[in-house]
Amino acid sequence: MNIAFYTLGCKLNYAETSQLQAQFERGGHTVVEFGTPADAVIVNTCTVTETADRECRQVIRRALRVSPDAFVAVTGCYAQLQPEEIATIEGVDAVFGAKEKFAIADMVQQFEKFDTPKIYVSELSDDLEFVEAQSGESDSRTRAFLKIQDGCNYNCSFCTIPLARGSSRAMPFGRIAEKLRELKQAGYHEVVLSGINLGDYHAPSGERFADVVRMIDQLQPRLRVRISSIEPNLLTPEIVDITSQSHVFVPHFHIPLQSGSPAILRMMRRRYKASGYGDLVHSIKKAMPHCAIGVDVIVGFPGETDELFEETFSFLHSLPITYLHVFNYSERENTPAAIYEGKVPPTVKKARIHRLRTLSTMKKHEFYRSQCGTEHIVIPEERNAETGMWSGWTENYVRVEFPASAAMLQTPVSVLLGEHMGDVVQGVIVGTAVDKPREHAAYIPIL
């Protein structure tokens, strides 16, 4: 049969959708592009925000407009938390929970539409197995996202992820090196280590995330490795030290803050203080001056007064960070924050989001300007046929455009960064990645 997939949410969801697609292809099915006629449509959902829930409904309606007789299955976090709600959406035939996600092909053989939607969602237990998953960027085969951890044991007052994903679990330690070799053989030049709470990696054999970082650095795979979002309390000095001297790991961290107000952090049940977060950022920049640091921030959390928001704004303004991912607080069922007093009006949230996104633009442009005149390793990802420009990312997460032939292989090149134009830096190729040694570890060819 022809099976179409649609993914909502984080990179981990995309990795798991890729795993599902591979399962169906091994079973003899054909994976087709979403929006083309299909016998079955599988939607992998997210439920971090209210918008994600609404978008799921819109996706289902879009699928049925193209393929009105298609079997529609919904899985993912939204499915685990609100299966009955999803089952009421017109056209949905089956809902699969977290435990059942990777058994869809076995549980439904014919993919014929049901008269009544069926729900295959069981309660999550502490003995959930870790399921491997990986995915590549949709526009190229240069970067792969490798899931090495799943679930979360934290109890942040605003988050439903532990309910949707279950407890923390991890890929066996010895399997990580094997996966890196497989990805390199498949032609990837960069691997992003991913997880729901990546820094909480704890292998069945006892190894922690610092052991993973040390092992990969010692392994010296002929590709570069990026660490995805990691909690500040789990980004240890040892990890920073290894990364700062590594020829494998790139100088780029994404570290969720959520709020710069000590009072809001306490209400959020976060496991760190704003002062400690600031110390961490400064220690990273001291060890790696050219390191890019991204930050997650939630705006409009219950009880966030103008004064408390200003604490967050001033705190972020003072830090040597690179960019912000700003999120509008969404009230989620079955979370303590849902019943907190002091709800913030939508108009106030909108104004605060605008201020932080403006700050993010300023920080990014400052960082980009600081990189002009330096050489970096860039992996060409896609080419604009009209302009003749390739684009890609440096090790420290600067978006670069540079002229090159369409026949150029998508292998790492050394690029001299020049003029900064908006969210892109113009560059020029000055050599291959292998013939440009660097004085600082951040610039050593990662091949």
In a domain, 154, yes or no: yes
User: Does 178 lie in the same domain as 29?
Assistant: no
Domain extent, residue 397, equals 372-443
Are 418 and 355 in the same domain?
A: no
* Cα–Cα distance measured from residue 167 to residue 12, given in angstroms and rounded to the nearest whole number: 16
Do residues 388 and 366 both lie within one domain?
A: no
Is the pLDDT confidence value at 135 over 90? Answer: no
**Confidence check: pLDDT of 197 > 70:** yes
pLDDT digits (tens, 9 = 90+) for 374-424: 999 999 999 999 999 999 999 999 999 999 999 888 889 999 999 988 899
CA dist list (Å): 405 to 163, 349, 363, 389, 417 = 49, 46, 33, 8, 18
- Is 217 part of any domain? yes
Structural domain includes residue 127:
no
Query: What is the predicted pLDDT for the residue at 139?
Result: 47
Measured CA angle at 377 (ends 373, 380), to 5 deg: 110
Secondary structure element (H or E) that encloses residue 416, with its range: strand 413-421
The residue type at 338: A
**pLDDT of amino acid 374:** 94
Out of 120, 154, 177, pick the residue that ends a domain: 120
Query: How much is the pLDDT for 404?
Result: 94
Residue 128 lies in a domain: no
The answer to whether residue 126 sits within a structural domain is no
In this structure, what CATH number is given to the domain that contains residue 74?
3.40.50.12160
Mean pLDDT of the region 427-436:
75
pLDDT in tens, 28-73: 999 999 999 999 999 999 887 667 678 888 998 899 999 999 999 9
164 and 28 share a domain? no
Q: Could you tell me if 57 and 196 lie in one domain?
A: no
Q: Are residues 93 and 144 in the same domain?
A: no
Gap between the Cα atoms of 47 and 54, Å rounded: 10
What does the pLDDT look like over 198-240, one tens digit per residue?
999 999 999 999 999 999 999 999 899 999 999 999 999 999 9
Based on the fold, state whether residues 146 and 45 are members of the same structural domain.
no
Task: Assess whether pLDDT exceeds 60 at residue 21.
Answer: yes
Pick the last residue of a domain from 370, 394, 428: 370
Domains contained in the chain, number: 3
